[in-house]
Amino acid sequence: MEIPYSARELIDKTLLAKVTKGSVTIKDGRIKDGEYIYMVLEYREIALAHMLSLKWKEMDTFNLDMDENWLRFYWQQILHAVNTIHEERIVHSDLKPANFLLVRGSLMLIDFGIAKAIMSDTINIQRDSQVGTLSYMSPEAFMCNENDADGNTIKCGRPSDIWSLGCILYQMVYSRTPFSEYKTFWAKFKVITDRNHDITYGPISNPLLLELMKKCLAWDRNERW
């Protein structure tokens, strides 16, 4: 039987051992098959992506504004889950609403198929290929291991996850991702990697929320928090 959201990704043994706690949901079982370890996760109730679509439908139906208490409640859970893996020096690299699942009122982070560990004496990782989901990928994720204008190697690390978090928060606020108006891969690629491109922010009553989105979506990865 096909079970939604079950894990079929292979994961490095070290990562598996590190993230078996809290809001990171790798805990129910491990099946060893030769050199690989398969994760078996418990069945989850609903993905954040689906929950958001239901929330927006409710808002449209009843002409409601975004409930900031609702947003704050789930945003804090998202941050807690991501902070848990970052404290273990793990970069997820594919943060998006579909990878946060709600069960018994709490959000869980899943899908570590392309997660990578950071060496203890660094803050970044180097990758063999570009990874992530396009609408949530940071500018540097497109250019990992390439050289910048100064000849320095572009590396991906926790700031890339922070960018993805900014895209998720933007989507929670505006019901779309920051670059949703660009429909093709190359159109999105062009604006995401253009440091002079200004992201459009709609009217918002909470200036702190606006500032948070802007900080997460700073083009310069050293300016994100």
pLDDT at 26: 44
Amino acid identity of residue 7, one-letter, is: A
Q: Go through the domains of the chain in sequence order and give each one's CATH number.
A: 44-223 (1.10.510.10)
Cβ proximity of 48 and 107 under 8 Å: yes
Question: Of 28, 94, 111, 128, which is the active-site residue?
Answer: 94
Q: What is the mean pLDDT of the chain?
A: 78
29-33 vs 36-40, strand pairing mode: antiparallel
Residue 128 bears catalytic tag: no
Tens-digit pLDDT profile for residues 167-215: 999 999 999 999 999 999 999 999 999 999 999 999 999 999 999 999 9
pLDDT at 44: 54
Structure tokens, 131:
């990874």
CB neighbours of residue 166 within 10 Å: 23
Q: Whose structure tokens read 């909470």? A: 206
DSSP letters, 20-37, are -STTB---SEEEEETTEE
Give the least confident one: 3-12, 22-31, 184-193.
3-12
pLDDT band for 18, please (50, 70, 90 cuts): low
Cβ proximity of 132 and 141 under 8 Å: yes
Give the least confident one: 58-62, 117-121, 157-161.
117-121
Tens-digit pLDDT profile for residues 66-100: 899 999 999 999 999 999 999 988 888 889 999 99
Q: How far apart are the first and last CA of the chain?
A: 42
pLDDT at 220: 93
pLDDT, average across residues 10-33: 48
Over the range 96-124, which residues count as b (16 or more CB within 10 Å of their CB) and which as e? bbbbbbbeeeebbbbbbbebbebeeeeeb
pLDDT, average across residues 134-149: 83
Amino acid identity of residue 188, one-letter, is: K
CB neighbours of residue 180 within 10 Å: 13
Listed in sequence order, the residues at least 6 apart from 86 whose beta carbon sits closer than 8 Å to its beta carbon are 158, 161
pLDDT, average across residues 117-140: 58
pLDDT at 105: 82
Amino acid identity of residue 96, one-letter, is: K
CB neighbours of residue 65 within 10 Å: 7
Taking the whole predicted model, whether its pTM rises above 0.85 is answered as: no
3-state secondary structure of 30: strand
